[in-house]
Structure 1
Amino acid sequence: MVGPDEILSFWFDECTPEQWFTSDPDFDQAIRDRFLDAWTQASEGKFALWLTYPNGVMAYVILTDQFPRNMFRDDPRAFATDRAALAAAKSAIAKGWDKRLDENLRSFLYLPLEHSENLCDQERAVRLIHERLDNQQSLLHARAHREVIRQFGRFPHRNATLGRKTTQAEQAHLDAGGYGSVVRSLETAAKAA
């Protein structure tokens, strides 16, 4: 059975930061091969013990928030365990466990907030990253996620995968480059300020 240490070792020692946010079919397959069974168990409510200590929560969040985005690209299962990841992250933050984690790990604990389609969660992600991480790239992306939710109340790039109807405004956003265009706009505004 896969344990928290194996997940953390894989994500933070075996993988590179470039792999974390790049679409690579081989990398996605490697995650499926190694962790699909564990993700299935987590989606069935297993691994509650992991939620009782910081590294366990961190592994749980990677398993339920990050891995499905790799394992199930263009499939609704990519977002199926987002609520579980968000609940685990919020609980850990409320206990102050995020402050006990290395900054690399901590940034992933905040990602379920950024992946939420709730503006309050988005605001909290920006605030936590601003206050508790020394990482301008993480802050930029948190602000970009928040801006998309401010505009649309959801992430338009998920619509096709989740069978949601895309509005004209959302389609214009997607046609203009979607999330990437928001990131570039924020970067330009920051340079001009």
Structure 2
Amino acid sequence: MTAPPVTAQAEAPSEAEKVLAFWLEEVEPKQWYIADDDLDATIRDRFGTMWDKAAEGALGHWLTEPNGALAYIIVTDQFARNIWRDDARAFQLDEQARSVAKLAIDNAWDREIVPPGRQFFYLPLMHSENLVDQDRAVRLFCERMPDAEDNLLHARAHREVIREFGRFPFRNDALGRQTTEAEKEWLEKGGYGAVVERLKSAS
């Protein structure tokens, strides 16, 4: 007996699956947090329309299970920063990313994703200019990814910046914000990198 044909549509991975396959399998972890013009261009070409759909509120159907929620967060929180580097639109969907991250964490969906992919549920909180979110990000890395020392270091560094300024001064230019004298001095003295090095030395 001949098996019924499988349609091409049924075989094709979903958009959410394409996001996860690219970011977690094709891209190397060392590329996640560095500025790379080639990677930015690749993400812009392959996933720019997905960011557009998220901005239009058209990806809500992804938010019913862990993998879909993770893919949504990667598009709105990670790909946004590649697609719109040094542009205010890099942060345009941060609120949506945080809301989905909090939903996923409350449902324990993050626990269903093995590290290192799990960290992307926590990064929208680490990117928040709200100290409560920052405290929660640090706590989540401590409790749910205890072996990810580098992630914890950067979560603590982000929290230190928000404690001091209530915002991230290195976003000011992109967002059209006036940089204060205190922020200017901080940036001139090494800014975020200096905070990371100080925390490393103190540990």
Per the normalisation by structure 1, the TM-score is 0.96
Distance 1:107 1:141 in 2: 12
The question of 1:28 aligning with 2:40 is answered: yes
CA-based RMSD of the aligned residues comes to 1.0
Equivalent residue number for residue 48 of structure 1: 60
Paired residues of 1:2 and 1:38 also in contact (CA < 8 A): no
1:121 Cα deviation from its structure 2 partner = 0.1
Corresponding residue SS for 1:74 = coil
Bigger Rg, which one: 2
Question: CA deviation digits over 1:28-57, x for unaligned, max 9?
Answer: 000000000010000111111111100000
Task: In structure 1, give the amino acid aligned to 2:148.
Answer: N
Distance 1:18 1:183 in 2: 17
Map residues 30-179 of structure 1 onto 2, 5 A cutoff: 30-133=42-145, 134-179=147-192
Question: CA deviation digits over 1:55-78, x for unaligned, max 9?
Answer: 000000000000011111111000
Paired residues of 1:64 and 1:82 also in contact (CA < 8 A): yes
Runs (4+) off by over 2 Å: none
Distance 2:98 2:115 in 1: 18
Paired residues of 1:2 and 1:35 also in contact (CA < 8 A): no
Distance 1:139 1:165 in 2: 30
Provide the identity percentage: 55
Distance 2:14 2:40 in 1: 17
Paired residues of 1:64 and 1:85 also in contact (CA < 8 A): yes
1:177 Cα deviation from its structure 2 partner = 1.1
Task: In structure 2, give the amino acid aligned to 1:149.
Answer: I
Equivalent residue number for residue 23 of structure 2: 11
Which structure has greater helix proportion? 1
Equivalent residue number for residue 201 of structure 2: 188
Corresponding residue SS for 2:122 = helix
Paired residues of 1:71 and 1:78 also in contact (CA < 8 A): yes
Distance 2:14 2:198 in 1: 41
Task: In structure 1, give the amino acid aligned to 2:110.
Answer: D
Distance 2:150 2:169 in 1: 22
Task: In structure 2, give the amino acid aligned to 1:103.
Answer: P
Distance 1:97 1:75 in 2: 31
Equivalent residue number for residue 7 of structure 2: none
Q: Which segments of 5 or more consecutive residues in structure 1 lack a partner in the other structure? A: none
Paired residues of 1:64 and 1:84 also in contact (CA < 8 A): yes
Task: In structure 1, give the amino acid aligned to 2:95.
Answer: R
Per the normalisation by structure 2, the TM-score is 0.92
Task: In structure 2, give the amino acid aligned to 1:113.
Answer: L
1:106 Cα deviation from its structure 2 partner = 1.0
Range with greater deviation from structure 2 (151-160 or 18-27): 18-27
Distance 1:183 1:140 in 2: 7
Aligned positions, number? 190
